[in-house]
Amino acid sequence: MNCIKVLIVSVLCLLVVVPDTAWATGSTDLYGDSVKVMVKKHLMPTVQPDRIILNLAENPMEAVGINWRTATSEAVSYIEYAVATAGPEFRKIAKRIEAKTSFLSSQQDDEPVIEANYHEGMLTGLEAGQTYVYRVGSEKAWSEWFQFTMPTAEGPLSLIYFGDAQNDVYSMWSRVIREAYFQFPKVDFMLYAGDLINHEDADYEWGGWFEAGSFIHASVPVMMTPGNHEYAKGVFLSKHWRPQFNLPKNGPEGLEEMAYEVNYPHLKVISLDGEQIDEIPEKRMAQVKWLREVLENDPKKWTIVTFHYPIYSTKPNRNNEDMQAYIQPILEEYGVDLVLQGHDHAYARGRVLNVNGQPELGKGPMYVVSVSGPKMYDVANDPWMDRKAYNTQLFQWINIEGDTLSFKALTARGELYDAFQLQKNTKGENTLINQIPNTEERVQE
């Protein structure tokens, strides 16, 4: 009996430490065939709901989207929710809504064909500032109860921004999102600037992303913009994107849940699909037209725009001409405050205004490029960069309160690496206050 207990414990430990490469390719020989089979089973859908995630709604003051996955045997699944109470009595007043269910079959590279049902629902009519609990599933199997708090119109608004996770997500990126949660456990949402995973339809990689985020993704609303690694051949969006996320559908026709806007009382957040701007002219121009219309009628004090391909790259000798030609002029014309980007696997930030074809530093939108995963590129030494970093996993905390936007970039160790404030005057103009810590820049020798 003791030998059996030891074997079970050993296998469970192996399930935890198995490398991401084994999940992505199934090619490892480290643990033998029996353990590889168990690892794969660990990532397969079952009657127990998994991959549970909260997503921002178009109006995040009164609604939130919820998604989860089960085995295909679960054709009907539910959300139960209630206002949180100090004790367990909320269970007596919980409301139930039936989810919308869709079937997904996916397969990539050496992975097997994986079939699952994905479920989604929208909680509406929620009260600003109120704390709610919810669970998902059915009488066969329920998730645990998760808890979240709605934002308030009067108080500060905060978010965590991640650059590319992409590679070795479960083993190497997980510490970054968890450190972000340890440092800032009470934020209103998290934002991903694309390339959440490396291969668009690799179910095991998506599983690693969800496991890395675990209960955090189920408790803090999330928004994301697609990167090039969420696409096949620059054209075909990951089959997983729409079933597993529940993002606003208020963007251009055909780009729902990729290009969209989210509206808080004093903040508008806009996602653009950078890959479609780069690859497909008609999708590019649809976004250009839509973005201009959205910003033309933007009464918000603060505006943040996110997309994957940077306006100003951190990687040497890289230039995203379509973003500069079609998107940058609109950002400048309408005074966008902050632009959050990924793709270049390094960190840099700075303000740039294009004047008669020449960059004028210290004016215009604040452009930020960052990376949260372990894949790293060289970083250039360009004049627009107020602060830069090479070979550094980071996460960023952004807080908006009244006329002040505060920004902090922290390393995977939780150490402050960069900081600044934007102070907005009555004309809507921003003054930059640098708060760079007295530490050396991390640059390659």
Q: 62 and 35, same structural domain?
A: no
Are 263 and 298 found together in one domain?
A: yes
Distance CA 232, CA 236 (A): 5
Range(s) of the domain holding residue 131:
50-149
Does a structural domain hold residue 97? yes
Query: Does 341 fall in a domain?
Result: yes
Instruction: Flag whether 444 is in a domain.
Output: no
pLDDT value of position 27? 38
> How much is the pLDDT for 408?
98
The answer to whether residues 352 and 275 belong to one domain is yes
**pLDDT for residue 302:** 98
CA distance 366 to 406: 12
- Any idea what the CATH number is for the domain that residue 420 is in? 3.60.21.10
In this predicted structure, what is the pLDDT of residue 38?
47
Q: Are 194 and 225 in contact, with CB atoms under 8 Å apart?
A: yes
**Residues 81 and 205 reside in one and the same domain:** no
Any idea what the CATH number is for the domain that residue 125 is in?
2.60.40.380
202 shares a domain with 141? no
Among residues 149, 179, 202, which one ends one of the domains? 149
Residue 439, in any domain of the structure: no
Residue 149: its H or E element: strand 146-149
* pLDDT score recorded for residue 246: 96
Q: Is residue 114, in this structure, part of any structural domain at all? A: yes
Calpha distance 22→168 (Å, rounded): 10
Position 445 in a domain:
no
pLDDT score at 444: 84
Please tell me the total count of domains within the chain: 3
Query: What H or E segment, with its residue span, contains residue 263?
Result: strand 260-263
In a shared domain, residues 129 and 173: no
Distance CA 169, CA 197 (A): 7
Single out the residue in 149, 167, 191 at which a domain terminates: 149
Is 441 inside any structural domain? no
Q: Where is the domain boundary, 149, 172, 201? A: 149
Residues 362 and 282 in one domain: yes
Same domain assignment for residues 233 and 192: yes
**282 in a structural domain:** yes
Q: What's the confidence (pLDDT) of residue 234? A: 87
In this structure, the answer to whether residues 172 and 131 fall within a common structural domain is no
* Together in a domain, 100 and 139: yes
Shared domain check, 161 and 107: no
What confidence score (pLDDT) does residue 154 get?
87
Which residue shows structure tokens 């902050």?
A: 338
Give backbone dihedrals phi and psi of 287, rounded to 5 degrees, phi first.
-75, -35
If asked whether residues 97 and 28 sit together in one domain, one would say: no
Q: What is the CA radius of gyration of the chain?
A: 22
Q: What is the pTM of this model?
A: 0.91
Mean pLDDT by 10 residues, the chain (445 residues): 48 45 40 47 88 97 98 98 98 98 95 96 97 98 98 94 97 97 97 97 96 97 98 94 97 97 97 97 98 94 98 94 96 97 98 88 96 97 96 98 98 98 96 97 88
